[in-house]
Structure 1
Amino acid sequence: MQKSLKPTSDRAFDILQAEKLNPLDAIFAPKTVAVIGASETPGSVGRTLLWNLITNPFGGTVFPVNPKRHSVLGIKAYPKIADIPETVDLAVIATPAPTVPGIIAECVNAGVKSAIVISAGFKEAGAAGIALEQQILTQARRGNIRIIGPNCLGVMSPLSGLNATFASAMARPGNVGFISQSGALCTAILDWSFQENVGFSAFVSIGSMLDVGWGDLIYYLGDDPHTKSIVIYMESIGDARSFISAAREVALTKPIIVIKAGRTEAAAKAAASHTGALAGSDAVLDAAFRRCGVLRVNSISDLFDVAEVLAKQPRPKGPRLTILTNAGGPGVLATDALIEAGGELATISPDAIAAFDKILPTHWSHNNPIDILGDADPQRYTQALEIAVQDPNSDGLLVILTPQAMTDPTQTAEQLKPYAQIPGKPILASWMGGAEVTAGETILNRQSIPTYRYPDTATRIFSYMWQSSYNLRGIYETPVLPAVDPQSGIPDRNLVTNIIASARQDGRTILTEFESKQILAAYGIPVVETCVATTEDEAVKCADSIGYPVVVKLYSHVITHKTDVGGVQLNLRNAEAVRQAYRTIKFSIEEKIAKDPHYSALKTQHSALSTQNSALFLGVTVQPMVKTDGYELIIGSSLDPQFGPVLLFGAGGQLVEVFQDSAIALPPLNTTLARRMMEHTKIYKALKGVRGRQSIDMAALEQLMVAFSQLVVEQPWIKEIDINPLLAIPPTAVHSGGLIALDGRVLLHPPDITEEQLPKLAIRPYPTQYIDNWTMKNGMSVTIRPIRPEDEPLMVQFHQTLSEESVYFRYFHLIKLSQRITHERLTRICFIDYDREMALVAEHQDPETGMRQILAVGRLSKLHGTDAAEFAMIVSDRYQCQGLGTELVRRLLQVGRQEHIGRITANILSDNYGMQRVCEKLGFHLQPTSDSTVMQAEIAL
């Protein structure tokens, strides 16, 4: 069966893939283009647009629209878009801003599919311009027109010849997709590209992003077979969730490189929490790029250099570079640049050193950089490179050549050609000099070995390559499933809800330390024992119960930084010390109220929150004095105006803002992402053990950070939260070590904020609303839930249960088990973006052994640029005919409705009668496709 059907099925699969159209095709590959505002006025935008379209043949027809002229540049003109005798794919609009909403309305009525609004005078012009934009958007939504702009240069598709811009020249064809928010920068890049011989598959000025945004274009270029890399000049992120969702999918197969203006923008003003003071907006943007696999660079030349090298060479598996040179000075310069950029010099293995000793002169460097001396001929270069390539300590190679008396740059380049593609190891070259090295550079570049005139540039580019590898590895490394005892009652969401609701009812936005610790403990985060006392006697009673020595802290509804007001008294060893501490703290607050206008105003503002003298002083908390030798950490969350809640980890304590050793990440976290976040701090090395001290329990810290992330995700009324310090204690001979939160602060959103106004997460969290239990026909209970990254091992086991027929029916051709269970493939299956697709698994847990297994998988994938989605489903052979497939598809339909999907389709092989019956039972309409071996099922939701 497989032999006879496989060729037909493969052909059908290819046909069906090709038939998937994206609405942006009307912009990048139009058959008919109308230029509204076409003009013959020399130097005008309308004339330049029309001229560029008609002088760069793109295989389509151009219609000028001008109510005052019968023809423009010798081409018949039409008074308005409705008068054009053909349906228009693309309207390019260059008329005054106030006229554009009406023109878009006319385009909708005429059935125009897309538009590029060149005109300026919108959002950048103030309130009146914003109002015009909203009018445009209202009309566009009415007719499902996709719009690029306004205030943009336009769009070029150099491979087809489309030039719908008012630029002075057409970009060279190539494989780089370029998107820019700045039209002026587009023209500068265009001039630069001619000098550097850089070609483009698409050249897009995105303008104000009224409609089409980063996510739309990243998806489109990601699907474009001619685009090998995507480079972006960004001024603002726009729809953060859309950008991250698209970039996470595309960056796995095509590098996305960004240069972002505003790196030196001042950090956000310090908020009431330490996290707010440390989480500057640019640091958050860096974290967002890392999270979705996007590489950020600092210069325009790096932007295209990195795009080129990632298209030509494999990403390195590590940061270790081997430098091979015939001159010491360039090797040292390259080393400095490498270390400054975050790379490492590879340590030459003993076997490699022995091999070098046999072929190199006595005075070679015996170290990395490998100086093979100035009289090196092509043969010596080749022999040394062969040894360096085989060294397992190296992740990449840089070959430097300086023209000296014995040097032959051209022949040396010829000798390097066989090393152009080394599996897992990029090779770069720096042929230093002028005209005499040009021929050698040409040979290397033709072999896809990137060349650089300066070795420090080459090492910087290598470091960018490693950073790209590191980002992707962090995203798609299989995490560990958090160890949560289902009987523990953690998290106790009801307790947290009640605490927050009570505070909001009182009009409070600041929780007390005691309330904050209750919330942390409710999510399984260990907190130090804390007792609240409103009198001296109660404080002594608490201390007696806890045991001396103790710490006494201010208990307040208002003041969060207790040390700033003398609100912390340490190492109290008896009752009298506790009483004195109570009085000291109370006196300090009273003094602040009397002398400091700020605290006096706070007293007046918040006095209604307490029946006592002041909400600033409600008493004290008492807790044990923890003297164990450990590390003080901070874990926190605050709000970013673009990305919503962000997480912070780093060195904590009283000097947290001074040392500023911290890292930023976006929630939600898993254990892998938590570890990657820690790796971006200096204290991470200490946590792993230094100077004879053992490592802290890193796995427990990862789990704690995951729990903290879950708290942030599930409790949107929390605006800011800190654990500072979190004490991380390494094990010693007298102490088992551990983690414990010594202090906690929680700030809530103001009372006037509604639930709809709460900030949204930039990355959609795990959709728990789709978890449910179900019983199969045979009585076996299963949990149907969304897939998660931690399921990769279970998916390996699942694929081992599938027959060839099941695989064939699901994928339209046979795929070997060894191919189906590779990590690279399963990352695409398990590490999904829940905004982009939803995969439901049916999981059964053996009640006796506790072993879990996946019995079936159903997937709903949105089609880029549309409100439609495709579904696919596969059930383990052993559990077929138990109603499981029907139930999965039924639930996918429910998901589609809740996710506002308008239409769901599926392609089914004609002889897959079981799947066809399931679809008919659930209301799908079945019809044949252009290939007789395939049926299409479709349902409108």
Structure 2
Amino acid sequence: MTQRHLDRLLSPRSVAVFGASDKPARVGTTVWRNLVEGGFKGRLAPVNPRLSELDGARCHPDLAALPFVPDLAVLCTPPATIAPLVAELGERGTRAAIVVTAGLTPQQKQAALDAARPYVLRLLGPNCIGVLSPHLGLNASFTQARARPGELALVSQSGALLTALLDWANTERIGFSHLISLGEHMDVDFGDLLDHLATERHTRAILLYIESITSPRKFMSAARAAARAKPVIVVKAGRAAAGIRAAASHTGALAGEDIVFDAAIRRAGMLRVDTLKELFIAAETLARFRDNRSAELMVMTNGGGAGVMVADAASALGVKLAQPSEALLRRLDAVLPPNWSHGNPIDIIGDAPARRYVDTLDALLDAPEAGALLFVHAPTAIVPSRDIAEACAPRIAAQRGRVMSCWLGGATIAPARRLFEEAGIADYETPEEAVRAFALMQTYRRNQAVLRQTPAASAAAEPDLPRARRLIDAALGAGRPWLDEVDAKDLLDAYGIPVIATRRVPATPEAAAAAAREIDGPVALKIVSPDILHKSDAGGVRLDLHGDEAVRGAAVDMLERLRRERPQARIDGFSVQAMARRPHAQELIVGTHVDAIFGPVLLFGQGGTAVEVLGDRAVALPPLNRALARELIDRTRVARLLAGYRDRPPAQLDALCDALIAVARMLADLPELAELDINPLWADECGVLALDARVHLSAARPAGVASFAVRPYPGELERRLAWQGRSVVMRPIRPEDEALHREFLEAADPEDLRMRFFEAPHTLSHDELARMTQIDYEREMAFVVIDTEAPGGPRTLGVARLARDPDNVDAEFAVMVRSDLKGRGLGRLLIQALLDYAASRGTQRIVGYVLRENRAMLALVKALGFECRADLNEPSEIMFVSRRLAPA
């Protein structure tokens, strides 16, 4: 199920509690009393056959006796009663239920789901605390405290964490739009709630506590959509190394499940925090400091020691302290004692009266370079902290999105801290905590930038897929799950990744020497064995061999050692290759692995034989483009070496990005690709070169597009068409199309833009264009028609968009063609492509909104079988058009 009827769960008009009780320490007792005392204005009814009245309300024996159909049912009855009760509720018309009851068996949970499905009755739980929606006075839970109304939504798999956060938030005067305990999430899950909360008007930011993900592609689509609309902060249990397994490949050993979860959070544009404390900090920051966009921090304090603490924390977390301008320094000189710090942190000296605080604040808030300001105060016996707070709070409150505060101490500064909190100013217990909060917001903005970054076009060549398939089919047909080095390099070469030429010869010293004679210069000799994966560890690699005798001797030594130390290993032969000479090359590793939750992943980092020891790696979810590949590289320490240093020129990063994109393409094209290691992959000013590779195959087909957490570009939908005497391409839009799309919209007649967007034309920002070109192919589609042979280069002739709701019931369409090409059939062509695509995806109905004055569009959609009518929920000048679809 999806987000249907979640409004009944989170914003019900009526609630019934089944198992409501008057007995102490019963869940049903607490839930009922929380509902009654919470101030819910809708209808309430307790259900319990033992009671005729409960807390002054009439108690009903069963559902049939209820005088109304509840929007929401809260079930606190024994496990065996849940499924029959759900079936009865669904038939009566209830569409949401909270299953507070714990202890349901798998069979009982399945029975409840089966009972709910015919009615699309949404089930939260089981074994959950419930739901709070403070703006409605709804407390359908057994929490110990009420919640303040606010704009933060919390979704938690842990009931204990939810109650702890609620208790803390009440102390800090932070409110919530919703608090939702998922419990065992047999139906309603994170993806459903993210979809709902992304557009829910009471929610400004979303907090998640996650222990497990069950539907990764659904989660990623919902998370990416929500993160584009509002901040999403995640704390994930299980950072420990328990999830990292011993693996045959380096990548399998390095790509543990937690680093993959990090990659998923980053890819979705969300922010991950490590601890419950940091979630609290993030909540405080989002509530009171979210709108600040500063990259640097200015610090104002009355104590030099406190300033040093801030500077140390900033250095450790990579936070840059702002440099005061000459104009700001002169203004501060005029209001501060001669012995002030004359730099950032700005120490206004411990004897500062309230007036000095105010004058300094005014100077800093007027200075554009001050950006974000951290106000740190240590109590003194000279001026009461409360006096300082009373003087400063009004000025800060007027610009509270720029100021963070830290009142050092306990009871002495409590009144001052309370004044700042009441003014809505973000406040932290320690300087380190405040700097950490600022660093978290910087990380969040970086993740958002990655979500919206426009990539450059990749220069990677189209792969030779038939050649790759022959290699894989031959290996699996022969029962070989590992490609040997020669075949592995042949696979890389089929995908355009440069490799060093390698020859496979029989396992004799003479054959190795003969192959070496045909190579000009020194060679590398390696063993070929399906039973020896890490060849250097087994003595199966010899480098820089000169001449026949050296090669022959090395081969003899290698065979003797392997017979002595690995007598069971099969020896299929030797590989002989020329020694590469690239003195500036940096050894890297590029690999793939299939994660148990998020499917195929890519790993990049510093390579070589000590790759696990170095641990310098980063992980990303495919698919990749150049922007995502570059971001993956930048998250490693080796990126600084690749940028060049001393006499080493910078590496060709575009070539490295294209190699990463090619490996990601392999994961999509080759479902049998279980693991891959390219180690080392050399990178230097000349490009990249793969020296060694291992490929593990599986007939179970663990990779492939179907296993991706993020649906890749659907290249199979590209087609070339003959239109109006010219050859054009119709294809899905790509992130790289931003420049083309800008030109297309800027060339449009202003009236055409008004007809399309229902508003006066304006200059489109990068974020708006990124949203148009960086779509989620799982839920959206945008077909563009490109004239690839136009004078001056390719140009967009038309675009048609389709946005499916998460339930895949309705999909809203829009279409626009170049102003000078209207009336030539391009719009019909594009809309028909959308109709065919929607039908192929099982969408039930395609809908749209058209201005009543747009007669040409209304005539076109009527000709294509759409119904047109006025919509009472829309302005009178807008017509609603729709067409039912038969699934393909």
TM-score range, shorter chain: over 0.9
1:38 counterpart letter in structure 2: A
1:784 counterpart letter in structure 2: M
Aligned partners of 1:156 and 1:163 also within 8 Å: yes
1:842 counterpart letter in structure 2: V
Aligned partners of 2:154 and 2:178 also within 8 Å: yes
1:579 lines up with 2:552 in the alignment: yes
2:661 counterpart letter in structure 1: V
Task: Give 1:225 shift.
Answer: 1.6
Work out the CA distance in 1 between the residues paired with 2:413 and 2:438. Answer: 22
Q: 1:252 aligns to what SS in structure 2?
A: helix
Residues 630-709 of structure 1: pairs in structure 2 closer than 5 A: 630-709=585-664
TM-aligned CA distance change 1:761 to 1:864, over 3 Å: closer
Larger CA deviation: 262-271 vs 464-473: 262-271
1:499 counterpart letter in structure 2: L
TM-aligned CA distance change 1:449 to 1:88, over 3 Å: closer
Report Cα offsets for 1:109-129 as digits up to 9, x if no partner.
22321211111113xxxxxx2
Residues 796-815 of structure 1: pairs in structure 2 closer than 5 A: 796-815=742-761
1:251 counterpart letter in structure 2: A
1:877 counterpart letter in structure 2: S
- What corresponds to 1:250 in structure 2? 226
TM-aligned CA distance change 1:675 to 1:385, over 3 Å: farther
Match of 1:502 among 474, 483, 486: 474
1:829 lines up with 2:784 in the alignment: no
Aligned partners of 1:589 and 1:617 also within 8 Å: no
1:61 lines up with 2:17 in the alignment: no
Work out the CA distance in 2 between the residues paired with 1:710 and 1:421. Answer: 52
Q: 1:543 aligns to what SS in structure 2?
A: helix
1:913 counterpart letter in structure 2: R
2:721 counterpart letter in structure 1: W
Aligned partners of 2:235 and 2:273 also within 8 Å: yes
Task: Give 1:420 shift.
Answer: 5.6
TM-aligned CA distance change 1:358 to 1:870, over 3 Å: same
- What corresponds to 1:766 in structure 2? 713
Report Cα offsets for 1:877-899 as digits up to 9, x if no partner.
11211212122221112222222
Work out the CA distance in 1 between the residues paired with 2:173 and 2:132. Answer: 17
Work out the CA distance in 1 between the residues paired with 2:337 and 2:607. Answer: 53
Work out the CA distance in 2 between the residues paired with 1:484 and 1:658. Answer: 32
- What corresponds to 1:939 in structure 2? 883
- What corresponds to 2:795 in structure 1? 853
2:784 counterpart letter in structure 1: V
TM-aligned CA distance change 1:167 to 1:442, over 3 Å: closer
Aligned partners of 2:75 and 2:100 also within 8 Å: yes
TM-aligned CA distance change 1:587 to 1:131, over 3 Å: farther
TM-aligned CA distance change 1:706 to 1:414, over 3 Å: farther
Residues 205-604 of structure 1: pairs in structure 2 closer than 5 A: 205-314=181-290, 319-347=295-323, 360-378=336-354, 380-381=356-357, 384=360, 396-404=372-380, 407=383, 409=385, 410-411=387-388, 414-415=391-392, 417-418=394-395, 426-434=402-410, 437-438=413-414, 440-442=416-418, 444-445=420-421, 448-484=424-460, 490-534=462-506, 535-594=508-567, 600=568, 603=569
Task: Give 1:459 shift.
Answer: 0.8
Aligned partners of 1:782 and 1:845 also within 8 Å: yes
Task: Give 1:308 shift.
Answer: 2.9
Aligned partners of 2:389 and 2:419 also within 8 Å: no
1:117 counterpart letter in structure 2: V
Task: Give 1:45 shift.
Answer: 2.0
- Runs of at least 5 residues in structure 1 that lack an aligned partner in the other structure: 1-19, 123-128, 595-599, 604-613, 731-736
Larger CA deviation: 79-88 vs 861-870: 79-88
1:96 lines up with 2:78 in the alignment: yes
Work out the CA distance in 2 between the residues paired with 1:647 and 1:391. Answer: 45
Larger CA deviation: 568-577 vs 797-806: 797-806
1:890 lines up with 2:832 in the alignment: yes
Q: 1:561 aligns to what SS in structure 2?
A: coil
TM-aligned CA distance change 1:42 to 1:341, over 3 Å: same
1:743 counterpart letter in structure 2: D
- What corresponds to 1:787 in structure 2? 733
- What corresponds to 1:611 in structure 2? none
Larger CA deviation: 65-74 vs 896-905: 65-74
Task: Give 1:550 shift.
Answer: 0.8
Task: Give 1:220 shift.
Answer: 1.5
Match of 1:867 among 804, 809, 814: 809
Task: Give 1:364 shift.
Answer: 3.3
- What corresponds to 1:844 in structure 2? 787
Work out the CA distance in 1 between the residues paired with 2:44 and 2:821. Answer: 59
Work out the CA distance in 1 between the residues paired with 2:393 and 2:30. Answer: 47
Work out the CA distance in 1 between the residues paired with 2:668 and 2:503. Answer: 28
1:36 lines up with 2:23 in the alignment: no
TM-aligned CA distance change 1:550 to 1:211, over 3 Å: same
Report the aligned-residue RMSD. Answer: 2.8
User: How many residues are matched?
Assistant: 880
- What corresponds to 2:862 in structure 1? 920
Work out the CA distance in 1 between the residues paired with 2:842 and 2:45. Answer: 37
Task: Give 1:709 shift.
Answer: 1.8
- What corresponds to 2:124 in structure 1? 148
Aligned partners of 2:45 and 2:58 also within 8 Å: yes
Report Cα offsets for 1:182-228 as digits up to 9, x if no partner.
12222222322322222111011011111111111112122122212
Report Cα offsets for 1:308-360 as digits up to 9, x if no partner.
32343356656532322221111111222223333233455666656656665
2:176 counterpart letter in structure 1: F
Work out the CA distance in 1 between the residues paired with 2:768 and 2:382. Answer: 50
State TM-score, norm by structure 1: 0.88
Work out the CA distance in 2 between the residues paired with 1:782 and 1:356. Answer: 64
Match of 1:50 among 32, 51, 54: 32
Task: Give 1:916 shift.
Answer: 1.8
Work out the CA distance in 2 between the residues paired with 1:806 and 1:569. Answer: 69
State TM-score, norm by structure 2: 0.93
Match of 1:744 among 693, 701, 709: 693
Aligned partners of 2:264 and 2:621 also within 8 Å: yes
Work out the CA distance in 2 between the residues paired with 1:246 and 1:625. Answer: 47
1:333 counterpart letter in structure 2: M
Match of 2:722 among 755, 765, 775: 775
Task: Give 1:384 shift.
Answer: 4.8
Task: Give 1:252 shift.
Answer: 2.9
The alignment-based identity, stated in percent, is 38
Task: Give 1:827 shift.
Answer: 2.2
Work out the CA distance in 2 between the residues paired with 1:477 and 1:491. Answer: 26
Aligned partners of 2:336 and 2:348 also within 8 Å: yes
TM-aligned CA distance change 1:675 to 1:383, over 3 Å: farther
1:620 lines up with 2:569 in the alignment: no
Aligned partners of 1:230 and 1:307 also within 8 Å: no
